[in-house]
Chains A and B, each alone.
Chain A
Amino acid sequence: MNRAARYLCGLWLGVIVTLLYLPILSVGLASLANTRYMRFPHRDWSLGAYADALNQHETLVLHLTSLKVALVVSVLSVALATLGAMAFARYDWTGRSLFQKMVVLPIFFPQPVLGLALLLFFTAIGITPSWKTAVFAHMVWVLPIVTLVISIRLFGYDPAQEDAARDLGASRWQVLREVTLPHLSPGLVSGGLFAFLLSWSNLPLSVFTTGADTTLPEWLFSRVATNYAPVVSAIAVIATLASVAAGLVVIAGLRLRRSRRGAGSPV
């Protein structure tokens, strides 16, 4: 590539990334003034909206509801997806290809439609929607994704290692604990992180399936559409930073572990 072409390519990437982050940055900028109407550039820059956000009990309740849902979704999804991934990627069985396609089907499905269908389903079988039904709804969409994430890890796994361990006298439990799980664990951790972040940020499923409970994205959506106030921007920033922090901590943990074990295994 000559210089001009390189320059153009760099410019293209720069423009794409900038466009992707401008709206997110805008929320941050809007949160830095505490006036009733948004008038940028702000005359008085202030952190007042954050003080208001932190003083509202609702902020805490919203975060706790989202946290509760996201944590339960991650734990249950990783547990189920680990089993599913074995069938997806490891064992060779008749029907595997059908199973693989069935698993990815919910990913290729309009989410609000899934939310509506689930709401009708819960009502029909007499379950009152709450954060627990939202967990169930999120899982229908998240479980297939986590299964894929763990499967990708599993495709790079050589089952002969297990035979070798067994030949050396390891018990079934030891093989699982010392061979299989250590290899799979980066996949389990990234799968868990995916599940957490996707659940934390989900709007279309939550809107229809949380009943009287409200998650953060749902609350933001309702406040954005109707009465805007700077405190909405502040809470949006806090919620986003919380998930960024969760992501960074997990990624750093994975890195640390990999560098400790030596750069032996590719991700």
Chain B
Amino acid sequence: MMDDFRATEIIFGPQHPGIHGNFGTRLELEGDLVHRARMVPGYLHRAFEKLMEQRTWMQNVAIVPRICVPDPDVNEQAYAMAIEDIMGIEVPRRADYIRTIILELSRIASHLMSLGGLGGAIGLYTMPMWVNGERDYILDLMEQLTGARVYHIFIWPGGVRWDIPDNWPRKVNKVLDHIETMLPHYYSLFFESKVTDARLKGLAPFDSRWAVEHGVTGPNLRATGFEMDVRRFDPYAAYEDIDFDVVTRREGDGLARALVRWNEVRQSIRIIRQALEDIPGGEHRAKTPPPLAFMVPPGDSYARVESSKGEYGYYVVSKGGKYPYRVHVRGPSFTHGIDVLEQLLPGNEISDVALITGTLEVCPPDIDR
């Protein structure tokens, strides 16, 4: 039997529309079934961890959002939280609320983009076009608040950079209303399609125990029925004051992962509406040393946030002085993209490779950093 086995090795990638970035896969195929998969990361390595040791604490704020392209604000938030924890800075409540709004807007944009990517991977090309239109409204809002469309450089240790402009909350509400009216159209376009049903249902399933053992976090873990969300169990920013549901599905397959993301968009809209309504007055940033004299006392801290892809963490080590001693970035895709994928892909067809990568929402920039 073994003599009959002939594997074809192909190199899949490093560019594919299903994922946010360049990322290769070395596949050994048996017919059109994957026999063995080996991930080839490294195309987006920019040595950010080394670079951060050579920049001052505040200069690093400009570097961290570049680690994750579709969802950049979680990096700023986690980096700021770790420093605030070491320094003992109390963040003003207003800043916490502004951070919450920004993070959730970013989550909506990222989830919509990932669903668009899934649509592209199964051949529903209307989906990526439409969701990118909605994402553009969110980028417009970001631009009006933070001054940049993608890399906002807005959340920094001690608060946020600027206060909300006057008519900005009204615009946010308008955009949210628009997205909410469009959501049913997207649902009927994507989830009621027979193609989605055939391609995503039963795709690469795993259960909660397997997920926890392999370090799966975020929407992928919640799709297995395990109600676990950093926003709920370790609340940061203003999440402890806000009422929202942790979305779960119990199936744990590709369709469940897509549906969790889909329903989280609604929850994010709910969170932003509450935050805009309850936002307290006061300062938007705590008193911190000026950027050039920003020193952090010796210590270390791990800060975690819930990104659109899973648990995002920053482990910051300070030995005192103006420069970090070590910054370690724990991206969610570091486990999803290498080990989990290598175990999920064998046995699937080659046409499902991009789709499984898409449903796990692997983001190569945070593997390579």
Do A and B pair up? The answer is no
